[in-house]
Amino acid sequence: MTVIGQTDQNDLFQSCRQQAGEDAVYLKDFVVKFPAARDGQDIPVSKNSVILSKNIVYRFTICSSDQLEGEAILQLWDDRRMLVTNHVSGKVYSSIEFHCQKTGRYHVLISFKEGKAGEAVSIMSYIRD
């Protein structure tokens, strides 16, 4: 993972925070930037592990920079399998909600569609009742 320029990153972050919605309470953000994957190489993926709690609705807002081509794909995994992604049937959603029913460790994986170069911010929030 490389570092995004501070100003671009802040702009992207602020825009993403607005997109998260007024009912979202900020918990954490993930900042990712990858160059294009080379032929024959695995698509680069960032991985972060978080504890999520039962009976909380989490929202992951995913914002890709328009300076690069890549669209960010977020996947949420438990220790065994992928639970949810914002990339379904070819469509990339900018937000996913996860109604957590089991407290535990989950893994947030972020990559860019088709391994294109990209930069993105994803904000993890919980939804206020």
Binding site for another protein (CB under 8 A): 17, 22, 25-29, 47-51, 53-56, 76, 83-84, 86, 88, 93, 95-105, 107, 124, 126, 128-129
CB of 4 to another protein, least distance (A): 14
CB of 75 to another protein, least distance (A): 11
Looking at the Cβ atoms of 93 and 116, the one nearer to another protein is 93
Coil/strand/helix, residue 126: strand
Looking at the Cβ atoms of 55 and 67, the one nearer to another protein is 55
Q: Decide if 32 contacts 119 (C-beta within 8 A).
A: yes
CB of 39 to another protein, least distance (A): 26
Q: How far apart are the C-alpha atoms of 81 and 77, rounded to whole Å?
A: 6
What letter does residue 9 receive in the DSSP assignment? H
- Where b means 16+ CB within 10 Å and e means fewer, 18-57 reads eebeeebeeeebbbbbbebbeeeeeebebeeeeebeeeee
Looking at the Cβ atoms of 9 and 69, the one nearer to another protein is 9
CB of 64 to another protein, least distance (A): 16
